[in-house]
Structure 1
């Protein structure tokens, strides 16, 4: 990434100007069209010379020592600048081609200086590219459950939402708990297994990418609340493509998660701090979340949390805003609706019984909340499970 000349009012090599007239009308002005993004030559004028950007994007390379590449300064040329006397410079094109105006202060032909090492435009290419996301699937399983996967030619990110799931990869076991994940690489054969009693819910994202380092494989990551929220967003977008740019949002959020895994930012439950108060708040919030997951059927109101943890409503609001970027009420409602999906799928309860079990006042209220969250009614979801 380059700095623009307009970001520098003045340096020891050039001064930024305010263009007050049409430079094309000046008698000594020369328009130069540039088609190369590399060179091994510098120009030098004995007197100051003015450069003005015209079309395309030009990269200005300037120095006071052409034989020392460490001294080269590079700027995107914007507006007009005046180079100091005897400065060595050249302009390269960043785009397919560009043009600039060059105005010596008097009739002055430049000296050409050839250097042994070619200099060129450096383009910033992304290292990690997510080429395609094939599937985003939220699944619910109960023990005993075992399945094997072989001859896969794609990546797969597996994230456990609730419960536990073991993965045996190349003879080694990796146990994933709540908000833990791992990346499985192409051609890695593995076995998934659930032994623990209870329900395990997990998300699988199948994708193709380039630039992922194999050091990411065979490793369990613990996601922060920030990244758990990104995953929730991906799931919601994948089931409700009601935005023109929903695919763009999915890809951006997903790449953000992958980069966090690569850079090791997801290993901590929250950002590293040295504050005892923040550590206390973090642990308290985790305790509240764990309590909700275990007791959402019985304790599903904000007042229940206030009473159980002896907190004020304002403190509770602050914790959920800071660590989950939502309100306690919204978090509880999302958790209840996710639990309702599990009950619809794995229990024999009627929709009215599920609504009552999760604290909804009526089947109508439950149905409206479910439809807003998932884009379909509870009855439509139940019917989709028997297809």
Structure 2
């Protein structure tokens, strides 16, 4: 006999948020679960008086009555999905105080979820519950790649200076060879560090960070597309536009128009 140990009873609210630099959500708690998924940028969070950073493609679940706050840094904004829900779970606290890196399967499920909730029929609403439940179960399966809030793993600690270097040199065409030379690492060692901590190659991580930063900069409407390309180390507007379209499925100019709809 197979019995469900995780059951989503109700989705109370769902919203996609774009936050500018220096945003802060004051500390609060509520009697239901809250799921947060980072689409782009970095979101700082304080949970039970402990401070941590959620990076793009990471998610976490705040438990009922768990005090928390969220905010962005002075230098960058953030885009993220928030889902408030009620759930029966016979695995106590299994996702509490965990940061989970969303797998490709989880990301595909989230796209399906966002598609379903846009329809008003009861069938699509039922499907959105089913899909969101799959997302949570997938998060449980991804625990081996999660980071406990009260303990940073050794690999991430070693990787922090490299990630900070990438963030501080966005205006350059950063290569894997440059990272190896700067941090006195072999190419294979660098690859292993990134795969163990982020399930990505260094090259892919650099592209991910730059494309998601580009998305945030376009949302803020402070710079032209050419200026954003230059800020991110792309000295060819055509090449930048092609990379953006390959990543998001639309050109930078098309994305800007979609924000105005």
**TM-score scaled by length of structure 2:** 0.68
Aligned equivalents of 1:306, 1:331: Cα separation in 2: 15
> Is the CA contact (8 Å cut-off) linking 2:173 and 2:234 kept in structure 1?
no
Q: Which residue of 1 aligns with 2:22?
A: 143
Call closer, same or farther: CA 1:239–1:353 in 2, change over 3 Å.
farther
Call closer, same or farther: CA 1:324–1:175 in 2, change over 3 Å.
closer
Equivalent pairs counted in the alignment come to: 239
Report deviation, 1:189: 10
Q: Which residue of 2 aligns with 1:310?
A: 184
The 5 A counterparts of 1:49-68 are none
Aligned equivalents of 2:87, 2:18: Cα separation in 1: 27
Q: Which residue of 2 aligns with 1:21?
A: none
Report deviation, 1:182: 4.3
Report deviation, 1:198: 2.7
SS at match of 1:381: helix
Return the structure number with greater relative CO, CA threshold 8 A, min gap 6.
2
Aligned equivalents of 1:328, 1:222: Cα separation in 2: 24
Query: Structure 1 regions of 5+ residues with no counterpart?
Result: 1-122, 242-246, 271-278
Match of 1:328 among 190, 197, 202: 202
Is the aligned partner of 1:353 residue 2:230? Answer: no
SS at match of 1:337: helix
Match of 1:162 among 38, 42, 45: 42
Greater share of helix residues, 1 or 2? 2
Q: Which has the larger radius of gyration?
A: 1
> Is the CA contact (8 Å cut-off) linking 1:165 and 1:200 kept in structure 2?
no
Aligned equivalents of 2:66, 2:185: Cα separation in 1: 48
Aligned equivalents of 1:289, 1:238: Cα separation in 2: 26
Match of 1:210 among 66, 87, 91: 87
The 5 A counterparts of 1:281-292 are 281-292=155-166
Greater share of strand residues, 1 or 2? 1
Superposition RMSD on alpha carbons, in Å? 4.2
Query: Structure 2 regions of 5+ residues with no counterpart?
Result: 114-127
